[in-house]
Amino acid sequence: MMNVFLSNITAILSIIISIATSIYTVIRDHRNDKRLEQTEKINKENQKWKKDFDLFKEDNRQKYLLIQNLLSRQQTRASIIPYFNIVLKDNRIRRDKNSLILEIGLINIGKESATNIQLSPYSSNENKLVYFKNKQEFKWQYYINEYLSQYYAFPGDEVTYKISVDLNDKEKINDFLEFKIKYSDLIGNVYEQGFKFGIHSTYQSGLEKIFYNHANSSRKPTLIQQSE
């Protein structure tokens, strides 16, 4: 009887151990599967992040190359385009009765010729083109006295034109003017360039002295139309 009892106990223990082993194996395999699943998920996320990062780097590289190319083209264009500088000489100012005549010079200091040079109006007022903006616009009005001396300018050439303003005898003037021109280069690009200068007058010992202000400026040309 004792042997039978021990045999039964041994069989039961074997079954319990087998069941426990199976349960442990199932739990272990489940945990391993979860770890493997998490590892695969992390690997996929890492691969996606790396792929996105590589795409981001390539996109930035392409943008950088594009910007560098544009800057290079801009610098190349800036080095060869026509570029005018304002020329102001006091001996080109003269009186004509109750008017003041101002001769303005524009010299091409660029490395390329300019063609189709013309004054560019700011606006149209009562069917009249407005070519000048001035600080004292309610006091003095400026008009074109003589149009541009030529419509082209090789490097080093000077183009001139004349402005008139009504100014009574003994009347002093103190004003700043702005104007702009439009021109093309030899391949058809169209540029616009603005200028600013001042005009002043004083009386010394009863004599009128009229002169240009040294605070003048020649702005950089702006590309407004690119050739096809």
Domain ranges of the chain: 1-80, 84-225
Burial class (CB in 10 A: 0-12, 13-18, 19+), 35: exposed
Q: Is the pLDDT of residue 84 over 80?
A: yes
What pLDDT, on the 0 to 100 scale, is given for residue 86? 95
Confidence of residue 207 (pLDDT cuts 50, 70, 90): confident
Using alpha carbons only, what angle is made at residue 67 by residues 61 and 70, rounded to the nearest 5 degrees? 140
Taking the C-alpha atoms of 21, 24, 28 and 29 in order, what is their torsion angle to the nearest 10 degrees?
60
Residues in the chain: 228
What pLDDT, on the 0 to 100 scale, is given for residue 13? 65
pTM summary value: 0.64
Average pLDDT value for the chain: 83
Higher pLDDT, 191 or 122: 191
Task: Report the SS3 class of residue 210.
Answer: strand
* Residue type at position 157: D
User: CA–CA separation, 13 vs 20, rounded Å?
Assistant: 10
Q: CATH number for the 84-225 domain, one of 2.40.50, 1.10.10, 2.60.120, 2.60.40? A: 2.60.40
DSSP code, position 114: B
Of 28-42, 70-84, 152-166, the one with minimum mean pLDDT is 70-84
Confidence of residue 71 (pLDDT cuts 50, 70, 90): low
CB distance 110 to 120 below 8 Å: no
Among 179, 178, 181, 161, which Cα is nearest to 224's? 181
80-93: average pLDDT: 92
